[in-house]
Structure 1
Amino acid sequence: MTRYTSATDADRAEMLAAIGVGSIDELFADIPAGLRLNRPLALDAGLSEQEVFEELKALAARSTSAEDEISFLGAGMYDHYVPALIDSIILRSEFLTPYTPYQPEISQGGLQAMFEYQTAISELTGLPVSNASVYEGPSAVAAAGYVATAASKGSRFVISRGVHPHSRECLRTLAHAWDMDVVEAPLHNGVTTLEDLDDDVSAVIVQQPNFLGAVEDLTALAHRAKQVGALAIAACDPLPLALLKTPGECGIDIAVGEGQSLGNRLDFGGPSFGFFAATEALMRRMPGRIAGETKDVDGKRGFVLTLQTREQHIRREKATSNICTAQALNALAGVIYLSWLGRRGIVELVELMLQRTAYARDRLRQIDGVTEIHDRPVVREFAVELDAPVQRVIARCQEQGINPGYALGRDYPEYENGLLVAITERRTRADIDRLVDTLGAAVAAERQTVEAGA
């Protein structure tokens, strides 16, 4: 049985009559005859609903999910446990189906959820103002750069090579339209080195922890930025902020980041949400919108949308953003996750990851043919260099049901055989021991293959 029944000849005749034309050719008379396709499209015959589902199942079977193997992949998207509580709330129609809450009197639940989310992000980042979310981490970095163009006079962004490659590429794409140059600050022993800063720098952008997993000294980097009058921007992993010094405490002006690790599943790369927090001085330049607390005519607590500095509400040339729909549902999952953990729970979670990451790092450095790329402190991710072709090693490990990590060479040619390993709370000591055994055997086998070929 098919699910879709197309228009009949009678339906088409009725529509043409309503439009006031006698035929399809007359309807498209304004399109030059030479541009029209005068034959049916060469499409395969339609499928029934059952056949479509079977085809989709076959396509899905070609993919490997994080549930099909023991995954140590990270690089910005992390395999954390998502409690059942989250789906039970965000799938309620009150949250799942509404559009932008323009009418506060009938949108109090959604607006309060936004307000609670903003409060949680402000607490994590140590900055007083958060918006209601943006699309994802890389666009949040670019949005922070745009704020810097208006708040400072420089014509250059200095962005650390330790910032996620997608974020760097997103910033470069938009900076071209803003007539801004993008300069990369190099890494030394895994952390950012700022050189040759001057008053032509609009913003200094770093990541905490950075892409190689190293914890950066945000206080020193923020100080260097402010010495030349530039904004200090940090792209942050939100969970480690529960243990690390907050961006606000370090003197950072804008903290942004990818929120996937807060209650959002991997979902093959999305959807997720980006967060954006800043100082009060930059509040009116922030993208998107902010939910605020107020009182109604009876003095009761209520919530409204405030400071919507986007092109839908004000003159385009005055807008700071064209974001018209925040990732509110994904952000809601984030604040539910943080509430589920609680202040103590999030600290315990990060401490657990810290302990297991230290164990994995210590075990891996003992493998012959595996060396650390840096020796800086890390939280849940670290980088190693293999004395063997990394893609072949990964393939050997996957044959054993283990994905050992992310191949760094595609983004960092200087680490051609680099491997980025992520340890979340879902990876047990037994999983780590299996990784060590499997990776060690794969490296040894590939080294023997290379030596035999030589």
Structure 2
Amino acid sequence: MRYLPLTETDRAAMLDAIGAPSVDALFCDVPADQYLDAPVEGLPLHASEMAVEKHMRQLSKKNLAAADAPFFLGAGAYRHHVPASVDHLIQRGEFLTAYTPYQPEIAQGTLQMLFEFQTQVARLYGCAVANASMYDGSTACWEAVAMAGRVTRKKRVVLSGALHPHYAEVVRTMAKFTVDEIAGAALSLTALPDDDGLIARIDDKTSCVVVQYPDILGRIPDLPRLAEATHAARALLIVVNTEPVALGALESPGDLGADIVVGEGQSIGVGLQFGGPYLGLFAIADPKLARQMPGRLCGETVDADGKRGFVLTLSTREQHIRREKATSNICTNSGLCALAFSIHMTLLGEKGLTALAAENHRLACIAADRLAQLPGVNLLNENFFNEFTLMLGVDARPVVRKLASMGVLGGVGMGKLFPDSDEVKHGLLVTVTETVSEDDIARLASALEEVLP
């Protein structure tokens, strides 16, 4: 028997209360050409559980798993070795079954973990305060933009052309509801980031400047110079980091003048996960701005007997306070992913993170030197961490597909990220982490030489 808890009268009453003419009107933001007018072609209307399992197993055999091939993909999601102890510890019942602590003081273990996580993120980013995590890097980026608008009371957002296009798209999508003006720019295919062009777009109406570090091509922008120009306009500098391992080698953004640092924590403890769930990181340099932060802050205190304890120090999300006073509608945090990050970071320690970063950079340099020797291949940027861009002279997307057919996941064709640019599509973004061997690099070089015209 179907479970239909609402009658037509119930639905009509609710639609009348919110002022919507129909249920379909609630989906008005979905483009009309994205609606289905019939069932998905080739998909059966029903099948037995055993038949579905068999079909899904057959489909899974078509995948080329990250661990089964030389893996050079990156562009915001990175393959690193995650120790088995991380997965073991996060599956302990007291962590795996715990949810957002609505009566937080009885969840001392969860609160302490989040407190330690905040400390690690703040130190990694060179900031004073970090929150208890967010959904992912792209939504954390938007939350930073929204926060900058609240702080500066200005509405113009300057985006670097070298910001990951998925992050930029999230900002543009959310800005439709806040009426922020988004000043974007085309990606500049130069050896160094176009810091001059970015600075030239800053004016007295600018609320924030958003720059990626390292950027989408693997280049390292001049953050102190950008910070000086941004602060001269009384705006905030937002730095996005998609590869936290890089901060084991590069100076922290907060120490270089960033006001807000956000990013993706997936590299540490979380794994690729087929695209999610991931982990948003968010930190600020000036603790005076803490009340404008989204999400939650966990703090350390003492109880009535003087014993150490942990509390939710600040909760400015709409579940805790009046909606019109909330800084964000984020309703939870990626708690289990934050725990995985914190455990992995604890296992690494400061020396371990530095050593891991050094190994990533060493292997990336070997790969860049080897691949740049191939006929028709040019290395775009010589300054990078573990990710660099090769210019192939042809569309890189078919090249990537040919490499995959040869059992090599050889990088990300930039045309996939920037489909509207004829120039950018020749770029191949190659990522090298500690999971790549020198034999893998040799195999990529051999395969690439074979498939290039």
Distance 1:55 1:150, change over 3 A: same
- Aligned match of 1:289: 296
Quick one: which of 321, 326, 347 aligns to 1:319?
Answer: 326
**Paired residues for 1:119-158 under 5 Å:** 119-158=119-158
Range with greater deviation from structure 2 (59-68 or 364-373) = 59-68
Question: Aligned partners of 1:192, 1:285: CA distance in 2, in Å?
Answer: 31
Which stretch of the first structure deviates more once superposed, 409-418 or 156-165? 409-418
* Structure 2, gaps ≥5 residues long: 13-21, 23-38
Equivalent position amino acid for 2:235 in 1:
A
Compute the RMSD of aligned alpha carbons.
Answer: 2.3
**Residues 64 and 317 (structure 1 numbering): CA distance in 2 closer, same or farther, change over 3 Å?**
same
Please tell me whether the aligned partners of residues 114 and 298 of structure 2 are also in contact (alpha carbons under 8 angstroms): yes
Give TM-score scaled by structure 2 length. Answer: 0.87
In the alignment, the residues of structure 2 paired with residue 339 and residue 273 of structure 1 have an alpha-carbon distance, to the nearest angstrom, of: 17
Aligned length: 415
Indicate the SS of the match to 2:184: strand
Question: Per the alignment, in what secondary structure is the counterpart of residue 303 of structure 1?
Answer: strand
Match of 1:452 in 2: none
Q: Name 1:298's counterpart in structure 2.
A: 305
**Shift in Å at residue 161 of structure 1?**
1.1
TM-score (norm 1): 0.87
| Farther off after superposition, 205-214 or 433-442 | 433-442
Q: Aligned to 1:230, which of 235, 240, 244?
A: 235
Counterpart of 1:432, as a letter, is: I
Q: Deviations over 1:47-79 (max 9, x none)?
A: 14x333223212322333212321100000011
In 1, the alpha carbon distance for the partners of 2:433 and 2:361 equals: 9
The answer to whether the aligner puts 1:361 opposite 2:395 as a matched pair is no
Residue number in structure 1 paired with 2:191: 189
What one-letter code is carried by the residue in structure 1 that aligns with 2:48?
L
Task: Give the Cα separation in 2 of the matches to 1:190 and 1:102.
Answer: 48
Stretch deviating more after TM superposition (80-89 or 409-418): 409-418
Partner residue of 1:417? 426
> Could you tell me how far apart the structure 2 residues matched to 1:185 and 1:204 are?
12
The alpha carbon displacement at 1:411 in A equals: 2.8
Deviation track 1:415-442 (CA, whole Å, cap 9, x = no partner) reads 1221000001000111111111111111
- Partner SS for 1:324: coil
Out of 240, 244, 268, the position equivalent to 2:250 is 244
Could you tell me whether the CA contact under 8 Å between 2:397 and 2:416 is conserved in 1? no
- In structure 2, the CA distance between the partners of 1:97 and 1:226, relative to structure 1 (3 Å rule), is same
Find the aligned partners of 2:397 and 2:10 in 1 and give their Cα distance. Answer: 55
Matched with 2:48 is: 47
**Identity of counterpart residues, as a percentage?**
42
Alignment of 1:392-411 (within 5 A): 392-411=398-417
CA offset digits 1:177-232 (Å, max 9, x no partner): 11111112554434132214211111001011001001111111111100111100
Does the alignment pair 1:199 with 2:204? yes
Q: Distance in 2 between matches of 1:342 and 1:29?
A: 60
Please state whether the residue corresponding to 2:254 is helix, strand or coil. coil
- 8 A Cα contact 1:294 1:304, kept in partner: yes
Match of 2:224 in 1: 219
Q: Relative to 1, partners in 2 of residues 1:397 and 1:43: Cα closer, same or farther, differing over 3 Å?
A: closer
Distance 1:119 1:29, change over 3 A: closer
**Whole-Å Cα distance in 2 between the matches of residues 313 and 197 of structure 1?**
36
Deviation for aligned residue 1:30: 7.3
- The separation in 1 between residues aligned to 2:202 and 2:157, in whole angstroms, is 10
Preserved CA contact (<8 Å) 2:318 2:328: yes
- Unaligned 5+ segments in structure 1 are 1-6, 36-40, 448-454
Amino acid at match of 2:297: I
Q: Which moved more, 1:332-341 or 1:92-101?
A: 92-101
Q: CA deviation at 1:93?
A: 1.5
State the AA in 1 paired with 2:237: A
Give the letter for the 1:173 counterpart: T
Indicate conservation of the 8 Å contact 2:395/2:415, yes or no: no
Tell me by how many angstroms 1:241 deviates: 1.1
1:324 & 1:391 partners in 2: Cα distance?
38
Secondary structure of 1:421's counterpart equals strand
Is 1:378 paired with 2:384?
yes
Q: CA deviation at 1:44?
A: 4.2
Partners of 1:168 and 1:43 in 2: CA distance: 37
Cα distance change, pair 424–285 in 1 and its aligned pair in 2 (3 A): same
In 1, Cα distance between equivalents of 2:448 and 2:184: 33
Q: After superposition, give the CA deviation of every residue in 1:95-148 in whole Å (9 maximum; x if it has no partner).
A: 111221122342111111100100000010110100000000100000000001
Is the 8 Å Cα contact of residues 132 and 295 (structure 2) preserved in structure 1? yes
**SS of the residue 1:212 aligns to:** coil
The answer as to whether partners of 1:129 and 1:277 remain within 8 angstroms in 2 is: yes
Shift of 1:45: 4.8
